[in-house]
Amino acid sequence: MLSSVFFKGIGLGGSLIIAIGAQNAFLLKQGLQGRHVLLCAAVCMGCDILLIGLGVSSVGRVVASNAALLGLIRVAGALFLFEYGRRAVWAAWRPSGLDPLAPGAATFATAPSGAAVSAPAPLAVSAKAPAAAPGPASAALTRRGPALRTALALSLLNPHAWLDTVVLLGAIGAQQPGETGRYVFAAGAMSASLLWFSCLGLGARLLAPLFALPHAWRVLDGLIAATMWGIALSLVWP
Protein backbone atom coordinates (compact mmCIF):
# COMPACT_ATOMS: atom_id res chain seq x y z
CA MET A 1 0.00 0.00 0.00
CA LEU A 2 2.67 2.50 1.02
CA SER A 3 4.86 1.47 -1.91
CA SER A 4 2.14 2.55 -4.34
CA VAL A 5 1.89 5.88 -2.52
CA PHE A 6 5.68 6.30 -2.79
CA PHE A 7 5.69 5.65 -6.54
CA LYS A 8 2.72 7.96 -6.95
CA GLY A 9 4.85 10.68 -5.36
CA ILE A 10 7.74 9.89 -7.72
CA GLY A 11 5.47 9.98 -10.77
CA LEU A 12 3.70 13.21 -9.95
CA GLY A 13 6.80 14.95 -8.61
CA GLY A 14 8.81 13.92 -11.66
CA SER A 15 6.15 15.09 -14.11
CA LEU A 16 6.17 18.55 -12.51
CA ILE A 17 9.96 18.86 -12.26
CA ILE A 18 11.02 17.52 -15.66
CA ALA A 19 8.94 20.04 -17.62
CA ILE A 20 11.11 22.81 -19.15
CA GLY A 21 11.33 25.61 -16.63
CA ALA A 22 13.54 28.29 -15.14
CA GLN A 23 15.40 25.95 -12.78
CA ASN A 24 16.11 23.36 -15.46
CA ALA A 25 17.30 25.90 -18.02
CA PHE A 26 19.70 27.49 -15.51
CA LEU A 27 21.09 24.18 -14.25
CA LEU A 28 21.53 22.91 -17.82
CA LYS A 29 23.63 25.94 -18.71
CA GLN A 30 25.71 25.64 -15.53
CA GLY A 31 26.31 21.98 -16.31
CA LEU A 32 27.42 22.74 -19.87
CA GLN A 33 29.84 25.39 -18.61
CA GLY A 34 31.04 23.24 -15.72
CA ARG A 35 30.54 26.12 -13.27
CA HIS A 36 29.50 25.28 -9.71
CA VAL A 37 27.31 22.41 -10.95
CA LEU A 38 27.21 20.52 -7.66
CA LEU A 39 26.43 23.70 -5.71
CA CYS A 40 23.60 24.73 -8.04
CA ALA A 41 22.17 21.21 -8.21
CA ALA A 42 22.28 20.95 -4.41
CA VAL A 43 20.48 24.30 -4.06
CA CYS A 44 17.77 23.24 -6.54
CA MET A 45 17.31 19.92 -4.77
CA GLY A 46 17.31 21.49 -1.31
CA CYS A 47 14.75 24.14 -2.25
CA ASP A 48 12.54 21.55 -3.93
CA ILE A 49 12.65 19.32 -0.86
CA LEU A 50 11.83 22.32 1.34
CA LEU A 51 8.84 23.30 -0.82
CA ILE A 52 7.55 19.72 -0.95
CA GLY A 53 7.78 19.51 2.83
CA LEU A 54 5.92 22.79 3.19
CA GLY A 55 3.26 21.62 0.77
CA VAL A 56 2.60 18.36 2.57
CA SER A 57 2.29 20.30 5.83
CA SER A 58 -0.49 22.81 6.38
CA VAL A 59 1.48 25.60 4.66
CA GLY A 60 0.20 24.52 1.25
CA ARG A 61 -3.40 25.15 2.26
CA VAL A 62 -2.53 28.53 3.77
CA VAL A 63 -0.76 29.73 0.61
CA ALA A 64 -3.58 28.50 -1.63
CA SER A 65 -6.19 30.39 0.40
CA ASN A 66 -4.27 33.71 0.54
CA ALA A 67 -4.98 35.61 -2.70
CA ALA A 68 -2.78 38.58 -1.73
CA LEU A 69 0.23 36.37 -1.05
CA LEU A 70 -0.23 34.49 -4.32
CA GLY A 71 -0.49 37.80 -6.20
CA LEU A 72 2.73 39.09 -4.62
CA ILE A 73 4.55 35.87 -5.51
CA ARG A 74 3.34 36.13 -9.11
CA VAL A 75 4.48 39.74 -9.59
CA ALA A 76 7.90 39.20 -7.99
CA GLY A 77 8.49 36.07 -10.01
CA ALA A 78 7.42 37.68 -13.30
CA LEU A 79 9.80 40.62 -12.82
CA PHE A 80 12.72 38.33 -12.05
CA LEU A 81 12.02 36.05 -15.03
CA PHE A 82 11.70 39.01 -17.42
CA GLU A 83 15.14 40.24 -16.33
CA TYR A 84 16.69 36.78 -16.63
CA GLY A 85 15.19 36.45 -20.11
CA ARG A 86 16.65 39.82 -21.11
CA ARG A 87 20.11 38.62 -20.09
CA ALA A 88 19.64 35.44 -22.13
CA VAL A 89 18.73 37.52 -25.20
CA TRP A 90 21.89 39.59 -24.73
CA ALA A 91 23.94 36.39 -24.45
CA ALA A 92 22.32 35.03 -27.63
CA TRP A 93 23.19 38.28 -29.43
CA ARG A 94 26.87 37.81 -28.56
CA PRO A 95 27.39 34.03 -28.72
CA SER A 96 30.64 32.22 -28.03
CA GLY A 97 31.80 28.63 -27.78
CA LEU A 98 32.45 26.75 -24.58
CA ASP A 99 34.02 29.04 -22.00
CA PRO A 100 37.75 28.28 -22.04
CA LEU A 101 37.90 28.97 -18.31
CA ALA A 102 35.22 26.45 -17.42
CA PRO A 103 36.74 23.57 -15.41
CA GLY A 104 37.14 20.48 -17.56
CA ALA A 105 36.01 22.26 -20.73
CA ALA A 106 37.90 22.05 -24.00
CA THR A 107 39.59 25.27 -25.02
CA PHE A 108 37.95 27.08 -27.92
CA ALA A 109 38.22 30.48 -29.52
CA THR A 110 35.78 32.22 -31.83
CA ALA A 111 37.03 32.95 -35.33
CA PRO A 112 35.87 36.10 -37.17
CA SER A 113 33.46 33.97 -39.22
CA GLY A 114 31.83 32.68 -36.02
CA ALA A 115 33.29 29.17 -36.32
CA ALA A 116 34.91 27.58 -33.30
CA VAL A 117 38.63 26.88 -33.66
CA SER A 118 41.15 25.41 -31.28
CA ALA A 119 43.11 27.96 -29.30
CA PRO A 120 46.92 27.79 -29.34
CA ALA A 121 48.40 25.48 -26.75
CA PRO A 122 50.17 27.22 -23.86
CA LEU A 123 53.97 27.37 -23.96
CA ALA A 124 55.90 25.13 -21.63
CA VAL A 125 57.06 26.88 -18.48
CA SER A 126 60.27 26.18 -16.64
CA ALA A 127 59.91 24.52 -13.27
CA LYS A 128 61.83 27.41 -11.74
CA ALA A 129 59.50 30.07 -13.13
CA PRO A 130 57.39 31.77 -10.46
CA ALA A 131 53.72 30.93 -10.47
CA ALA A 132 51.57 33.52 -12.17
CA ALA A 133 49.23 35.44 -9.95
CA PRO A 134 45.56 34.62 -10.54
CA GLY A 135 44.02 37.08 -12.97
CA PRO A 136 40.55 38.62 -12.84
CA ALA A 137 39.06 35.80 -14.92
CA SER A 138 40.46 33.11 -12.60
CA ALA A 139 39.21 34.99 -9.57
CA ALA A 140 35.76 35.26 -11.14
CA LEU A 141 35.53 31.49 -11.36
CA THR A 142 35.98 31.19 -7.62
CA ARG A 143 33.04 33.48 -6.87
CA ARG A 144 30.08 31.31 -6.12
CA GLY A 145 27.86 34.12 -4.92
CA PRO A 146 26.17 35.00 -8.25
CA ALA A 147 25.47 31.35 -9.09
CA LEU A 148 24.16 30.69 -5.59
CA ARG A 149 21.88 33.73 -5.61
CA THR A 150 20.51 32.90 -9.05
CA ALA A 151 19.81 29.28 -8.09
CA LEU A 152 18.03 30.40 -4.92
CA ALA A 153 15.99 33.03 -6.75
CA LEU A 154 14.92 30.68 -9.54
CA SER A 155 13.95 28.07 -6.96
CA LEU A 156 12.18 30.24 -4.39
CA LEU A 157 10.94 33.27 -6.38
CA ASN A 158 9.36 31.13 -9.08
CA PRO A 159 5.57 31.20 -8.56
CA HIS A 160 5.16 28.01 -10.58
CA ALA A 161 7.32 26.22 -8.03
CA TRP A 162 5.03 27.41 -5.25
CA LEU A 163 1.83 26.64 -7.14
CA ASP A 164 2.95 23.23 -8.42
CA THR A 165 5.10 22.03 -5.54
CA VAL A 166 3.50 23.61 -2.48
CA VAL A 167 -0.16 23.88 -3.51
CA LEU A 168 -0.67 21.00 -5.96
CA LEU A 169 1.60 18.41 -4.33
CA GLY A 170 0.37 19.56 -0.93
CA ALA A 171 -3.27 19.08 -1.91
CA ILE A 172 -2.65 15.61 -3.35
CA GLY A 173 -0.43 14.66 -0.44
CA ALA A 174 -3.19 15.61 1.98
CA GLN A 175 -5.44 13.02 0.32
CA GLN A 176 -3.10 10.13 1.08
CA PRO A 177 -4.13 7.67 3.80
CA GLY A 178 -3.05 8.91 7.22
CA GLU A 179 -0.05 10.92 8.31
CA THR A 180 2.34 8.16 7.27
CA GLY A 181 0.87 8.15 3.77
CA ARG A 182 1.48 11.88 3.41
CA TYR A 183 5.11 11.54 4.41
CA VAL A 184 5.68 8.55 2.10
CA PHE A 185 4.13 10.51 -0.78
CA ALA A 186 6.42 13.45 0.02
CA ALA A 187 9.44 11.10 0.13
CA GLY A 188 8.57 9.86 -3.36
CA ALA A 189 8.31 13.40 -4.73
CA MET A 190 11.61 14.34 -3.05
CA SER A 191 13.30 11.27 -4.58
CA ALA A 192 12.18 12.39 -8.04
CA SER A 193 13.75 15.79 -7.41
CA LEU A 194 17.05 14.27 -6.27
CA LEU A 195 17.26 11.99 -9.31
CA TRP A 196 16.32 14.62 -11.88
CA PHE A 197 18.57 17.46 -10.77
CA SER A 198 21.53 15.10 -10.32
CA CYS A 199 21.12 13.69 -13.84
CA LEU A 200 20.52 17.11 -15.40
CA GLY A 201 23.51 18.85 -13.82
CA LEU A 202 26.03 16.05 -14.24
CA GLY A 203 24.73 14.69 -17.54
CA ALA A 204 24.84 18.06 -19.28
CA ARG A 205 28.60 17.68 -19.82
CA LEU A 206 27.87 14.93 -22.35
CA LEU A 207 26.58 17.67 -24.67
CA ALA A 208 29.78 19.72 -24.34
CA PRO A 209 31.15 18.87 -27.84
CA LEU A 210 27.98 20.24 -29.43
CA PHE A 211 28.16 23.45 -27.44
CA ALA A 212 31.72 24.14 -28.57
CA LEU A 213 29.99 25.93 -31.46
CA PRO A 214 28.79 29.51 -30.90
CA HIS A 215 25.59 28.86 -32.86
CA ALA A 216 24.57 26.13 -30.41
CA TRP A 217 24.82 28.63 -27.55
CA ARG A 218 22.75 31.12 -29.55
CA VAL A 219 19.97 28.54 -29.89
CA LEU A 220 20.17 27.54 -26.22
CA ASP A 221 20.12 31.14 -24.97
CA GLY A 222 17.23 31.91 -27.30
CA LEU A 223 15.25 28.96 -25.93
CA ILE A 224 16.07 30.01 -22.37
CA ALA A 225 14.86 33.57 -23.06
CA ALA A 226 11.65 32.29 -24.66
CA THR A 227 11.05 29.96 -21.71
CA MET A 228 11.63 32.68 -19.12
CA TRP A 229 9.44 35.23 -20.89
CA GLY A 230 6.74 32.65 -21.57
CA ILE A 231 6.56 31.75 -17.88
CA ALA A 232 6.61 35.43 -16.89
CA LEU A 233 3.75 36.27 -19.27
CA SER A 234 1.71 33.35 -17.97
CA LEU A 235 2.08 34.80 -14.48
CA VAL A 236 0.99 38.30 -15.52
CA TRP A 237 -1.85 37.07 -17.73
CA PRO A 238 -2.84 33.66 -16.34
pLDDT digits (tens, 9 = 90+) for 185-231: 899 999 999 998 888 888 888 877 776 677 877 887 788 788 778 87
- Helix 22-33 and helix 214-236: axis angle, to 10°? 160
- 82 band by pLDDT with thresholds 50, 70 and 90: confident
Whether 122 is covered by a domain: the verdict is no
Whether 174 is covered by a domain: the verdict is yes
For the chain, what is the mean pLDDT? 73
Whether 119 is covered by a domain: the verdict is no
Number of domains in the chain: 1
**pLDDT over 50 at 115, yes or no:** no
Whether 46 is covered by a domain: the verdict is yes
> 129: which strand partners?
none
Whether 196 is covered by a domain: the verdict is yes
| Structure confidence at residue 191 (pLDDT) | 94
For residues 30 and 37, the answer to whether their CB atoms sit within 8 Å is yes
Whether 120 is covered by a domain: the verdict is no
Whether 118 is covered by a domain: the verdict is no
**pLDDT over 80 at 130, yes or no:** no
Range of the domain at 87: 2-105+144-236
- Helix 22-33 and helix 145-156: axis angle, to 10°? 160
> Could you say which DSSP state residue 61 is in?
H
> Could you say which DSSP state residue 106 is in?
P
Whether 72 is covered by a domain: the verdict is yes
